[in-house]
A and B are shown apart, each in its own frame.
Chain A
């Protein structure tokens, strides 16, 4: 009878990446092999705690013997693979992905890496023309697209959705990476309040029948906010501070502590600005939470604010 935790045995394999011999574990992805040796591969839809969904295509690399570029985030290594991460074909493909995304999506709160990549790959989102005004995307008729007049560029812009006290959903900032859908669904929360509706350029994240969040299955765990890479999903507190021009990460301190509610012991990272909690996250790499919290851990801190 075994009384110890089982240890998975994995074989080692050797691959060539950018002319460098890299030894890694069988079952690892090309992305993991690259990260092991410090080669940066940009990613948008990839997250360590979620199964890869292969939608953003910004992580593509050239694999010798493969007709098409392959997504590094999901393609497992195989012995003898020869991979190029910086070839002209790869760079062109990544440039186009970034250019098309940045021309149609508001990336203003998307974090530093995306903007650095846009520069590094020479993406010029503005060369496609001026952005068109927001449209009623939730009522878009599938498959009906007329070219915009006046050389305007179609965007995913739509009005900000604010229908409850804790979340703001600004889908003008959504790159459709699916992370929120996965976190709400079978990768973590299993609530299935949101999914991708529509097809092609009309595709957008939606509750069932586009109802407001309070009428949906949402339980306000905020795990979608926790994984959103662009700020399309945001705490009300952050949204309001940004609207007033007072959000200032340089004045914020992040402190790890343990949630004051039930006995599971979830690690909370409290983002504090001017002695007020403005956001709560949990570390992706902590094996209790894997970055996930419940509504109490995520939002239940108000009792400690102010002078009581």
Chain B
């Protein structure tokens, strides 16, 4: 944000902040050890507001829970912003000195009165005003989010709408005040840092910048194509058009993890050539022409990953991989050799040192320093640098030269979820994680979790009553794309009209047969969080053997 692709703050800061806002994040279950830091903040006296359609296990720790309508986040953010402006609570000194575009922003949020906010989001006007005043008046405030913000067709705009609030109140660039996107996987941050994006080199350097590309061309002895590539959703569109005919998939299971996965499978099947590099013969690997068995990155190979606080940490091999299984680096270098490029057999450290020589924000992160310091937070521009606890402190500098370019307000437009509710599909289905499971279960399915229970369609008590179903009864869930059956489970965290499923057990309940693959044009993230469905009781109770225990959430 504001030019850097990472959260601004450190976990330690949430222990010493005054107001915590969890917006579209159930960190208690999805990021449990971050939640430990958060709990220290609460014990120290911080207040917490949770914005979430569900009254999650995180929300139970909050002072206030705002049960927002799924996908109305921008409307809520705008109403909060407008109220901060109306009440005269803008940090005018910060806004005047360190930002641009305030007037246009103020005009853009003007229609979002408290009453309009209530109408669009379902959050009472007084609660919106309360959030606005609490945030603006807090000495320090941390605004945290997860996939509840980003798994929408307006993902990037949702994030920008939250960033606007931090600019309005000066809650960025100071110890204890910041913007905290919690990353869903152990190296999502590192993937972006390393340039696994269509338009970036390592260190968020732009591939369309001639001077930067020239440095990489010189180091690599090759010519990098001068234009950006495709992101995931664009790749699937290119498959539809027939422009993309061959695909190399590393450690991903799109046949099950993609929204509208029946379409994804059709497209994968239609490719001329599919290569899958994975630990297991996943559903995607079963479709492949070539499968390259890979070592477990975290347990069987050397390397680094980057966490949600921008901390680069080392991975070390603890286990010998099975025969014939090799690390990703070995496989990639061998493949390069077969394609006529001799990359040799570099160690992970040698690959990293090359990266450090090209990415200024990683330049100081020698392996032995990563070891000695327990990881280093980027940017770390030289080998004396201790790493950076929080970003954008420069925005507070008095000296305009040190302050650098101002942070722009973003103009974002509110659009409700694309999969509209109707008479035919009257219920909103949203998705999320459970504490003991992970994504499509490829990893988490391997251990005997005492918490595990079969996949269910979770419903509010009111909806269970109106459907006339009891715990464990089977229902048919139908969206505009597909239809599945699942047993129902009573979940008091849900309101009438809102249903919940996970993506953890695609072999039991293929949730992504229902979801909509419309994606955010900027990030390529699909709208996993907002599906319109119809739930019907099945005539015979086929799910009786699946009667479940109530979920425990800590």
Spell out A's residues near B (CB within 8 Å). Answer: 1-6, 164-166, 186, 188-191, 213-214, 217-221, 253, 255-268, 270, 272, 275-277, 286-290, 292-297, 299-308
Contact = CB atoms under 8 A, between A and B. Distances in A.
The 3 closest A-B pairs by CB, nearest first: A265-B307, A263-B183, A303-B446
Nearest to A272: B318
A295 B435 contact: yes
Contacts of A256: 314, 316
Nearest to A261: B438
Interface of B: 11-12, 16, 30-34, 36, 39, 43, 170, 173-175, 182-189, 279-280, 296-300, 305-309, 311, 313-320, 322, 325, 374-375, 389, 393, 396, 435-438, 442-451, 549, 552-554
B63 to A, nearest CB: 16
B103 to A, nearest CB: 24
- Greatest chain A CB density within 10 A among B12, B36, B182, B298 is at B36
A188 B32 CA distance: 11
B299 A4 contact: no
Given A3-B174, A277-B319, A217 B552 contact: yes
B36 A189 contact: yes
B182 A263 contact: yes
A296 B436 contact: yes
Contacts, number: 197
A304 B375 contact: no
B396 A253 contact: no
Contact of A253 (B170, B307, B318, B438): B318
Given A257-B318, A303-B279, A3 B296 contact: no
Contacts of A289: 33
Given A219-B435, A260-B296, A272-B319, A300 B444 contact: yes
B293 to A, nearest CB: 8
B22 to A, nearest CB: 14
A257 B305 CA distance: 10
B34 to A, nearest CB: 5
A163 to B, nearest CB: 9
B372 to A, nearest CB: 13
Given A191-B554, A265-B308, A258 B186 contact: yes
A277 B305 CA distance: 21
B340 to A, nearest CB: 32
A221 B298 contact: no
Contact of A186 (B11, B43, B438): B43
Given A294-B33, A308-B322, A220 B186 contact: no
Contact of B374 (A213, A219, A287, A297): A287
Contact of A263 (B31, B318, B448, B554): B31
A263 B300 contact: no
A255 B389 contact: no
A265 B39 contact: no
B438 A190 contact: no
B296 A304 contact: yes
Contact of B173 (A3, A258, A297): A3
B442 to A, nearest CB: 7
9 contacts: A6-B16, A165-B449, A262-B182, A264-B31, A264-B182, A276-B319, A300-B444, A304-B319, A308-B322
A165 to B, nearest CB: 4
A155 B315 CA distance: 45
B443 to A, nearest CB: 5
B449 A220 contact: yes
B11 to A, nearest CB: 6
Given A292-B36, A304-B319, A308-B280, A264 B43 contact: no
A106 to B, nearest CB: 25
Contacts of B435: 219, 294-296
